[in-house]
């Protein structure tokens, strides 16, 4: 289904004119909620940062059926989430839009909660499921008429950590509990497979396992390859127990291979594309430390209580960095040299070069490594 955005808006207005309007929050009765749709359908880190809000909703609706709409490429990471009864795949943009709507309409939702979703598709998709109440923040003006809290408190536009913003959305939906801890349950079989691989791949009994996440969802978040390589050399020289694993997706194989090649040691190995997502999480959970850009692997490590050194400049640790277990995490963040930052359009993030190898190695040593 390929539509230009104005055409899409026009179609949704036509359809909504023939459907019952969403009910205002003033009419919302939590005791009448039996079926809930939660939308968190973008990246791995975004969905992990939604897990505290999902738990908050579950706390208030222990008997309700909760369906999570999650990105199809990442759904396996969340299939063991104890607060969700069912996961439906989201394929991105307009792809399979109508098919997804038809699938979700069968659930007869009383409530839809959009924690994070693609714009402009997320709100219309949730509305078209037939949910009688629909809440989200911030309220985007083009589809505000489709949500129940269109006239309410829109304070989530104020700068705050993403997890707290999503807990605020859950609160609108009657959610209880404000714990910021993210949740990720690694399947036991994935853990056994990774443990078996580590047993064969690591040649000493008491290794210091250090992960490098050199890639990111966009180039503007990436610390330079040369910096990761120099850091790897320093870590291996400082500790004979150290083993470095360059972690990445299949698309990051070349990047991770370049890092390992530049380190130039058989104690540094690329595992990019080697494991499915659940096993990547299992490996991250076994690391002593992950040194990472602001990306999904960072959030996996935080959720699994693996120590991290995270690298920020164009994005903010106060918005997407570690908020739970502060003793386990160090964020290295530099001031933006470009204002306004062009973010996703920047393919040469020299701002990340402000983070020095010494900065990161110092944080590595502060953990007693």
Q: Could you tell me if residue 290 is inside a domain?
A: yes
Among 139, 172, 205, which residue terminates a domain? 172
Same domain for 220 and 134, yes or no, is: no
Q: Indicate left, alpha or beta for 92 from its phi (over 0: left) and psi (-120 to 50: alpha).
A: left
Same domain for 104 and 217, yes or no, is: no
Average pLDDT estimate for 174-201: 96
Same domain for 70 and 107, yes or no, is: yes
Q: Could you tell me if residue 307 is inside a domain?
A: yes
Per-residue 3-state assignment (H helix, E strand, C coil) for 232-286: HHHHHHHCCCEEEEEECCHHHHHHHHHHHHHHCCCCEEECCCCCCHHHHHHHHHH
pLDDT recorded at residue 198: 97
pLDDT digits (tens, 9 = 90+) for 191-246: 999 999 999 999 999 999 999 999 999 999 999 999 999 999 999 999 999 999 99
pLDDT digits (tens, 9 = 90+) for 244-262: 999 999 999 999 999 999 9
User: Above 90 in pLDDT, residue 340?
Assistant: no
Helix, strand, coil percentages for the chain (3-state, nearest 5): 45, 15, 40
Among 172, 207, 226, which residue terminates a domain? 172
Q: Could you tell me if residue 114 is inside a domain?
A: yes
pLDDT recorded at residue 17: 86
Give the span between the Cα atoms of 233 and 263, in whole angstroms.
6
Same domain for 319 and 208, yes or no, is: yes
User: Above 60 in pLDDT, residue 43?
Assistant: yes
Same domain for 125 and 221, yes or no, is: no
Q: CATH number for the domain including 315?
A: 3.40.50.2000
Q: What domain range includes position 87?
A: 5-172
Q: Could you tell me if residue 106 is inside a domain?
A: yes
Same domain for 223 and 357, yes or no, is: yes
The mean pLDDT value of the chain amounts to 94
How many independent structural domains does the chain possess? 2
Same domain for 257 and 163, yes or no, is: no
Same domain for 161 and 210, yes or no, is: no
CA angle 307, 310, 315 (to 5 degrees): 145
Same domain for 158 and 220, yes or no, is: no
Beta bridge partners of 87: 68
Give the span between the Cα atoms of 252 and 35, in whole angstroms.
39
Same domain for 156 and 194, yes or no, is: no
Same domain for 151 and 209, yes or no, is: no
């Amino acid at each position: 289904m390929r539509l230009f955005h104005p055409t899409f808006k026009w179609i949704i207005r036509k359809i909504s004119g023939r459907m019952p309007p969403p009910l205002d929050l003033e009419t919302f009765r939590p005791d009448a909620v039996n079926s809930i749709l939660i939308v968190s359908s973008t990246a791995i880190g975004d969905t992990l940062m939604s897990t505290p809000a999902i738990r908050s909703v579950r706390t208030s609706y222990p008997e309700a059926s909760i369906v999570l709409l999650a990105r199809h490429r990442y759904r396996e990471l969340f299939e063991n989430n104890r607060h969700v009864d069912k996961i439906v795949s989201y394929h991105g943009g307009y792809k399979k839009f109508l098919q997804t709507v038809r699938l979700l309409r069968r659930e007869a939702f009383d409530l839809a909660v959009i924690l994070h979703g693609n714009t402009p598709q997320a709100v219309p998709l949730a509305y078209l499921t037939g949910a009688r109440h629909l809440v989200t923040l911030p309220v985007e003006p083009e589809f505000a008429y489709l949500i129940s809290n269109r006239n309410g408190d829109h304070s989530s536009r104020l700068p705050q950590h993403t997890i707290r913003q999503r807990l605020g959305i859950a609160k609108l939906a009657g959610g209880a509990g404000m714990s910021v801890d993210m949740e990720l349950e690694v399947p036991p079989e994935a853990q056994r497979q990774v443990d078996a691989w580590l047993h064969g791949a690591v040649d000493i009994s008491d290794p210091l396992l250090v992960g490098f996440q050199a890639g990111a969802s966009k180039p503007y978040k990436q610390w330079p390859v040369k910096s990761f390589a120099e850091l790897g050399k320093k870590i291996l020289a400082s500790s004979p127990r150290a083993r470095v694993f360059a972690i990445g997706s299949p698309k990051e194989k070349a990047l991770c291979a370049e890092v390992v090649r530049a380190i130039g040691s058989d104690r540094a190995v690329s595992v990019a594309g080697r494991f499915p997502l659940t096993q990547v999480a299992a490996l991250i959970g076994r690391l002593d430390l992950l040194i990472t850009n602001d990306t999904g692997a960072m959030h996996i490590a935080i959720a699994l209580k693996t120590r991290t050194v995270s690298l920020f400049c164009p994005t903010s640790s106060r918005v997407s960095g570690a908020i739970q277990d502060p003793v386990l995490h160090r964020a290295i963040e530099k001031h933006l040299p470009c204002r306004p930052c062009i973010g996703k359009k920047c393919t040469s993030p020299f701002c990340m070069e402000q983070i020095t190898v010494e900065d990161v190695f110092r944080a590595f040593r502060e953990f007693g490594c």
